Structure 1
Amino acid sequence: MNNLQLEKILNEKLSPHLIKDYAPNGLQVEGKGQIKKVVTGVTASQALIDKAVELKADALLVHHGYFWKGEPEPIRGMKGKRIRTLIKNDINLLGYHLPLDIHPELGNNAELARLLEIEVEGGLEGHAQSVAMYGRLKSPLTGSEFAERIQRVLERMPLHISPDNTHKMIETVGWCTGGGQDYIELAAQNGLDAFVSGEISERTTYSAREQDIHYFAAGHHATERYGIKALGEWLAKEHGLDVEFIDIDNPV
């Protein structure tokens, strides 16, 4: 498959043109024209690039790519080494950020809901492109039971901040993978029992305690492994590419 054809296929699936984002979505670093082997992963770190080189990948497809708004523009230091490695080995880098978070079929939020057995009811912001979602568990759980489910699914214990009413049961849940902790305010305003995100801020603790809502920080990396993995599996199934997901450990 041609590299520009691969970008076109991904753009048609994820519709990045409909979303205002913090980084360019699509082909970020151009490599060889023909694509056979694709490596997928969460972040285009040096470790993931080195693994792509080892596996003789033609393309690296990630959730966290490069050229974020506000970052230093010079290609030097860590950034320079990463990009030099890609160019030297003729590897295409494709990145999809918010389009992959919100995709209703393959997105990070959709995959997390599936794994945590949450029935999706809608976007927390009230529209189809909402970055945060809400839904309902099939049966109510205690805070400890839901934390145990998260640990079993993501293979790491979440940080659980209980509301002042520590015995409050959880039936309705809001969530936003990655750095979506500030959506807890909207979740609380909508009367949800719990909110899950990847990262936590100092202020999040007080929001949970004072607004009668359970909060779970489950890890930025851990909550965003599954969208890019699902996207790669879709590429392999629908377009016959050799796709391999590589999980570079990250405790955050």
Structure 2
Amino acid sequence: MTLIARFELENYIGQLLSVDRFRDYCPNGVQIEGRETIVKLATAVTASQAAVDAAVAIGADALLVHHGYFWKSEAAAIRGTKKARIAALIKADVNLFAYHLPLDAHPELGNNAQLGERLGLTATGRFGDQELGWIGELAEPATLADFARRIATALDREPLVIGDAARPIRRVAWCTGGAQGYFHEAVNLGIDAFLTGEASEFVTHLARETGVAFIAAGHHATERYGVRALGEHLARQFGLELIHLDIENPV
């Protein structure tokens, strides 16, 4: 194993993910500064207390996540669970790297790219704010029921499916995580189904009235793969020791 300086790793990831081109809801990069050099890297979807504790327990120098801290909508005060997580990282001198929208969007390592690959979707375009939504096609049409089974097998999770089970599905729009708001725009793109992580009340009515199937496969489940792919890339690039922490989350 080799080591890399914290600033060098941050600069590399920033360029790789084109961080500067995104308008995000949180800072991307090093959110909590720890030791200056990194040999062992842990990855997780979210910087929960469980992920932080696991990273500390295995002696990681850095924890790399998709969902970090300091969201624009959250209170600025560092107290309660927020204090406990940050205190644990600082006490152990562990760096926290977090990449949100840039990790969703990357054409190879990103959440959308990784999810599409696992579901047999070939990307043909982008849509939505900052082009975060993806459009693609299945190699061969499948019924909605068959496509839902493919998703359940790939993600080890039964998705919420709204639509005619017998409907042929070929053209699909998708965006991982909490992107149900993109459904309004997606239905006008000539698609058969829209796939995301979460559902809101309105999607049932929109799916029924337009005939476009809606699938919610879980926020965590649809975003498990980007941070893992990024970690594996960094491990190969710099010879780092890598441990992925898959903290179970039913949402």
Pick the TM interval, shorter chain: over 0.9
For each residue in 1:30-79, what CA deviation from the matched residue of structure 2 results, as whole angstroms up to 9, or x when unmatched?
Answer: 00011000100000000000000110000000000000002111111000
Match of 1:73 in 2: 76
Letter matched to residue 152 of structure 1: T
Equivalents in 2 of 1:147, 1:92: separation in Å?
Answer: 38
SS at match of 2:37: coil
Q: For structure 1, which runs of at least 5 residues remain unmatched after alignment?
A: none
Separation in 2 of the partners of 1:2 and 1:133?
Answer: 34
1:63 aligns to 2:62 (yes or no): no
**Amino acid across the alignment from 2:250:** P
Secondary structure of the 2:38 match is coil
SS of 1:120's equivalent in the other structure is strand
Q: Aligned partners of 1:191 and 1:183: how far apart in 2?
A: 14
Superposed CA RMSD in Å reads: 1.0
Name the structure 2 match of 1:19.
22
SS of the residue corresponding to residue 96 of structure 2 reads: strand
Distance 2:166 2:155 in 1: 24
Partner of 1:142: 143
Secondary structure (helix, strand or coil) at the match of 1:42 reads strand
Query: What's 2:162 paired with?
Result: 161
Matched residues in 2 for 1:211 and 1:99: separation?
31
Instruction: For 2:236, give the aligned amino acid.
Output: K
**Runs of 4+ that moved beyond 4 A:** none
1:5-32 superposed Cα distances (whole Å, 9 cap, x missing partner):
1111111111111100000000000000
Structure 1 residue 167, shift from structure 2 partner: 3.2
| Paired position in structure 2 for 1:179 | 178
- Which residue of 2 is the match for residue 219 of structure 1? 218
Structure 2's unaligned 5+ residue stretches are: none
Identity of aligned residues (%): 51
In structure 2, the residue corresponding to 1:32 is in which secondary structure? coil
C-alpha offsets along residues 112-141 of structure 1, whole Å, 9 cap, x if unaligned?
Answer: 00000001001023x9x4111000000111
Is 1:229 matched with 2:232? no
Corresponding pairs, count: 248
SS in 2 for 1:122: strand
Higher relative contact order (CA 8 A, sep 6+): 2
Partner of 2:91: 88
